[in-house]
Each structure stands twice: as C-alpha cells, then as structure tokens.
Amino acid sequence: MPTYKAPLRDVRFLMNEMFDFQAHFATLSNGALADSDTVDMILEGTADLCENVLAPIYQSGDQEGCHFDNGVVTTPKGYKEAYDQFVQGGWQGLSYPEQYGGQGLPMSLNLVKSEMMGTANWSFTMYPGLSSGCMNTILQYGTEEQKDTYMPKLVEGTWSGTMCLTEPQCGTDLGQVKTRAEPEADGTYKLFGTKIFISAGEHDLAENIIHIVLARLPDAPKGTKGISLFIVPKFIPQADGTIGERNPVTCGSIEHKMGIRASATAVLNFDGAIGYLIGEPNKGLNAMFTFMNTARIGTAVQGIAHAELSYQGSLPYAKERISMRALSGKKDPDKVADAIIHHADVRRLLLTQKAVAEGGRAMIYYAAQLADKMTDGILKGDHAEYEYWDDKLGFYTPILKGFLTEMGLESANLGMQVFGGHGYIKEHGMEQIVRDARISTLYEGTTGIQALDLLGRKVLLGSRGKVVRDFTGDILKFCGRQASHKNMRGFAWDLTKICAQWNTLTLRLMLMARKDRDVVSSASNDYLMYSGYAMMAYFWAQMAAKSFELLEKGGKEQPEFYQAKIQTAEFFFERLLPRAQGHAEAMIKPSKSLMQMDISNFSFDY
C-alpha cells in the first residue's frame, strides 16, 4: 500500500531552479505576497496535511464509500474531521482575495497545493475543488452583493460549492439542457429539473452548499444560446450571514462508481428551488467556457497525481520483491533471487510512471504560470491581457487534460503491473489508484472532446495552425540555444525533427479537412497524443538542459538528483517518444476507414 510522501525535492526543483517562480511572482500584481518564506511554509504545510491527514483516509474512504439515506449524504469516517482541519488551516482561501478572507496568493500555488492533496487523496480533494469552480464563477460574474453574500463563507470553506451542468440526456452537448428557471415577482427564479453526476452535490462536510446551475429561462432560444446561470444555495443565506430556509434542491441518490468512492456524486432534483441569476441571461455557456481552461488543468493534475502515487507504491515493492535473476548476472548474490527492479522490463514500468509524473508536473507548473498571468489580467481588469494569456493557455489545456490523464491511467496500470497478481488484491492499494484514475479521461470533457477541442477548435479553426507554429517556434529557439552543448545535441536533434513533423502533419490535416470534414474527428485522438508526446519531450529536454547546466556549474548538493533527471529524460526520448510515430502515421489516413461502415453492419449478431 503506497504511503504518500509529498515529492518536495521535485517540487522545489521546478519552482526554484526550473521555472524560477520567485521571478515569475515578481511580474504579478499579487506576487509580492508569495515570497520564498511564504511559499516554503505553504509547501511544508500542504505536505503535512497531505501526509498526515488526507493520505491515511484514502484507502478507508474507498472501502467505506459515501452513504445515502433519504436525501442525506454522509462521507466516510474521518472525512468531516479532515475537512475541518483543511478549513481551520485556511487552505481553501489560498488563492482567493484577501477582501473575502483569503490569502490572495497567485493561482499557481493553489495548483501546486491541489496536486499534492489530489495525490494523497483525490476523492477528498474534489470537495474543495468544486468549491473553486463555484467561487471562480461568482468572482467573475457575480454582483457585489452576490460576492459579499457567498464569497466569505466559500473562501473560508464552511460553505462548499458545485457546478451543476450535466443532465441525464446530455453531458458534452449542453445545448440539450432542459432544467428550467421560472421568474418570480421578486426577481428570483424557481428552478425545475434534474442534474446528474454532481460532484460534492450533497455531503456532510460543509454547513451549506452553493450550486451553480445551468438552466433555461422561459423565453430562451433553443440550444447553447439559451442557457443561463443561477446560484442555488442549499440553505438560503440570511442577511446576517447565517443560513436560513432549506431550499427544495434535494439529493435523489448518489452514484455507485468504479472509483473515487469517497467523493459523493449526486443526482440533484430541483423542485422549484429558489435561484438567483448570475451573469447575463442566455450567456451562461460562454461564462462556463471562461473556466474551462482552469477547470481542465485542474483535472489534468489527476493524471500526474495517480502516476505519482502509483510510483510511490510500486517503487518500494520493486526494490523488495525478489524473483528470478537479472539477465546480466546476479545482483543480490546472497539472496535466492534478485530484486525485480534489476529486470529491464520492470524498470520500464517504473520509469514510465516516473517520466509521466515528473514530466507532467513540469508541464502543469508551466501552465500554472500562464494561469497566473491570465488571472492577473482579471485582477487588474485588463481584458486584453486576460485574453492573451487565456489564449496561450488554451493550447496547453486539451493537451494537458487529454494526454496527461491518459498517461496517468496507463501509469496507474503499470504500477499495478509491477505487483504482478498482488496488484489485483485490494489490500495492496494499487488497484484503487487504477479505479480512481479511470474517471479522469471521462469527466471534464472526455479525451475525445479534448482531442476535438485541440485539433478542431484550437489548431485548425482557431488559428489555422499558428498555435503549433508558435509553440514549435519556441522549441526550435530552445534547440538553437542547446545545439552548442554536446550533451544536449541528441535531445535538440530529436526535438527539431518533431517540430518539423508536427507542422507538416498540421498542414496536411488542414488540407485534408477541406474535402474530408470527418478527418478533424478521425485524426483528433492521434493528433492529441502526438502533441502530448511532443510537448512532454520539450519539457523533459528543458529539465535535462537545466540539470546539465547546474551540474556543470557545480557546488550542488545531491548531484545524483540532476543525473537522475537527465537519465529520465533519456528514457523518455528513447522509449516513450517513439510512440508519436505510430500516431503520426495513423492520423493522416483519410477518415474513410472509420466512416465507411454502415451502422447496421457493425454487428450481425446483436
């Protein structure tokens, strides 16, 4: 069973050496608050919370699951106490405005915190995670009164929040939303309808739950242009800030899921529940899109979280378990067999997890800096700056969410594989990671939706390939700088080839799509995965370059740390990056081999 340990050595490498977060914070309007002492305190405090409070209830929470009894949802043993500690530590307000009781720190620190928390206990971390979605909506679209009413309690964590989008007939296709909001004489609305898959939709952790609900006004146009947003509190807030009347939004049941069993997934029934319009009528879906980037990067974190935890479980096992002799000769001659970490194929399982966890973390941390800059645009009221960075981030988002969650799921499966048959047994804790990881490619937009967003919306339609030209332009500049370092030449050459290929593939798909519209979908998954391998290769090369630089400079404690980074980069380039070639070959095939089969011919037996 993995015993979570916060990977602070790696976190500090990224924050201090790789991406110089102090220099980055200096460019932000709220960056001065994040001096290095404060950041250190946050890292140590988060590690302590994760290792000592959240990790110990990870497995027990899965075993027990959430309880549903006549509309009341009870979280597993210890979750309420852990949440209270989370609230008392002020963790919910880390990156929210001081005006509402938060610490007003840059958003990136929230992401750093949520990766550690999510790795220690993903189910738990979903409760505060959903509150963030709710807070972001209220902060950006709420009136001052709405902010004053809801933000202090949400920032404190004594109230929690949700995002109510999905309905039984629609998830991705929100144009089909049916929940309706009927205007009342007093300017409020009454909501009627059913929402499903509402994470943190009902639970016993907070005294009130604030739902952000997508619904239609009576005169709303059909489809996506007729959706409005409403705040629907479980208990109506009183003028004095306490909770009042119970609103008729009730939990009909909770789902029995494959994993994340300590996270309550509610069916919510709105039977004339009082709601307050937030933002402009019929512009609700646009508002949701505003948060899509940050919400999806929050889910991308799940990929590295499960790769990390799985690695933390399988690494010690691979060192302890002895089986057979290494092919190159006995390694543990005093034992009857060698530890399985001496077998190359077992190392492949381990290093894949390591490369995904650390490479993905680097990608997320970099994206977190972009998110900081974007948020700074909002804080400063500079819409152009906001849009510029949101656009930048928009290219990373589907790659991070789509690629990292797929790789996280693979990593969790490989961690289990290290255990052999023992991995299949619940008590070892490895199969839970696989089950928990499995949701990550499904919610917050399936991998297919990320792929379509990347290739269709961002690359082809949105920029006619410019986003890729820009990104590979950055990579090529990096390669140019590295070409003079003999250690980096191999990496730079591989990356240069990838850049040329990536642009060629993009151009080719653009031309193909003119005549073969379906190619945007038929190529999308391969394009997404190709882009993921390419992007992760760039980040591994950057980490290798930084490690070579620091080793050459000398005077570093623990030079092995940097050596291991370089070796992991080599592993990635030699063993994982080649997969991109399979995707490259498949994506440029016409859509015909997918589209030609008549629906009735998919099976002749059923």
- Distances, alpha carbon 424 to alpha carbons 45, 303, 351, 471, in Å: 34, 21, 21, 41
**Which of 80, 171, 166, 183 lies closest to 127 in space, CA to CA?**
80
Report the residue number, 322 or 551, with the smaller CB distance to a copy of itself: 322
CB atoms within 10 A of CB 203: 25
Report the residue number, 217 or 414, with the smaller CB distance to a copy of itself: 414
Residue in 280, 444, 560, 585 annotated catalytic: 444
Least Cβ distance, residue 33 to a copy of itself (angstroms) = 27
CA angle centred on 33, ends 31 and 37, rounded to 5°: 115
What's the rounded Cα separation, in Å, for the pair 437 and 307?
9
CB 528 within 8 A of CB 452: no
Least Cβ distance, residue 423 to a copy of itself (angstroms) = 6
Report the residue number, 209 or 346, with the smaller CB distance to a copy of itself: 346
Strands 243-246 and 235-237: antiparallel
CB 394 within 8 A of CB 456: no
Least Cβ distance, residue 31 to a copy of itself (angstroms) = 27
Report the residue number, 336 or 384, with the smaller CB distance to a copy of itself: 336
96: amino acid identity, one letter: Y
Least Cβ distance, residue 177 to a copy of itself (angstroms) = 11
Look up 444 and say whether it is catalytic: yes
Environment class of residue 313 by beta-carbon count within 10 Å: exposed (0-12), middle (13-18) or buried (19+)?
buried
**Which of 438, 442, 434 lies closest to 413 in space, CA to CA?**
434
Least Cβ distance, residue 171 to a copy of itself (angstroms) = 6
Environment class of residue 440 by beta-carbon count within 10 Å: exposed (0-12), middle (13-18) or buried (19+)?
buried
Environment class of residue 503 by beta-carbon count within 10 Å: exposed (0-12), middle (13-18) or buried (19+)?
middle
DSSP summary character for residue 427 = G
> Phi then psi for 192, rounded to 5 degrees?
-130, 130
Report the residue number, 138 or 529, with the smaller CB distance to a copy of itself: 529
Report the residue number, 59 or 92, with the smaller CB distance to a copy of itself: 59
For 345, residues 6+ apart whose C-beta sits below 8 A from its C-beta are: none
What's the rounded Cα separation, in Å, for the pair 330 and 349?
21
What's the rounded Cα separation, in Å, for the pair 565 and 156?
39
Least Cβ distance, residue 459 to a copy of itself (angstroms) = 15
Least Cβ distance, residue 523 to a copy of itself (angstroms) = 8
Element (H, E) at 180: strand 180-183
Least Cβ distance, residue 365 to a copy of itself (angstroms) = 16
What's the rounded Cα separation, in Å, for the pair 105 and 32?
9
545: amino acid identity, one letter: A
Report the residue number, 435 or 469, with the smaller CB distance to a copy of itself: 435
**Which of 384, 214, 367 lies closest to 293 in space, CA to CA?**
367
> Is residue 597 helix, strand or coil?
coil
Residues constituting the chain = 606
Report the residue number, 47 or 151, with the smaller CB distance to a copy of itself: 47
> Phi then psi for 554, rounded to 5 degrees?
80, 180
Report the residue number, 236 or 510, with the smaller CB distance to a copy of itself: 510
Report the residue number, 70 or 604, with the smaller CB distance to a copy of itself: 604
Which segments within 9-149 are labelled E, that is strand? Answer: 67-69, 72-74
CB 142 within 8 A of CB 278: yes
Least Cβ distance, residue 372 to a copy of itself (angstroms) = 25
Environment class of residue 25 by beta-carbon count within 10 Å: exposed (0-12), middle (13-18) or buried (19+)?
buried
Residues annotated as catalytic are 444
